[in-house]
Amino acid sequence: MPVLGILWFVDEDAFKAVDRALVELTQWLGRAAQYSDDHPAVLAFGRTAHERLHVALDRAGSIDVGVLKDRLTVGDRELPSPLLRTRTAPYLHARGALLLRISVGIGFEELAAFVSVLTQHVNEIYAAGGLRVLLARRGVARIAIEEIQHE
């Protein structure tokens, strides 16, 4: 299994798999925000995103994603998909995320809880103490967030 860090993605296939998985996750998030996170069609789409994420985790090991206002990074490389630059990065940045760490073994329920938390309005997230607090309340252990300080 690869080691995370600056030299992490020597394997180009793993890097592409992470990019594709985060695109699928973004599309799931968009549908959950538009309809509801428990709509059957949204859940079916989420299962596909979960499968894609498992492919990426199998190839890459744990995934650390740096969050900037206009891009997502893994190691020292920017993820190339335009959707991640224009939608995902600003969305996560607005919610205070600086780093997203996804660990091997994440289940569908944990990933669905993560998506559900992200669909909350920014003010609700900040008022509750941030993403880390909300994820802990939902029992999400295999997604860790480093975020800006919440007071």
Instruction: Note the pLDDT tens digit of each residue in 30-66.
Output: 999 999 989 999 999 999 999 999 999 999 989 999 9
**pTM for the structure as a whole:** 0.90
Give the count of alpha carbons within 13 A of 22, CB side only.
Answer: 31
Q: Are 139 and 113 in contact (CB under 8 A)?
A: yes
CA–CA separation, 68 and 142 (whole Å): 21
Confidence of residue 3 (pLDDT cuts 50, 70, 90): very low
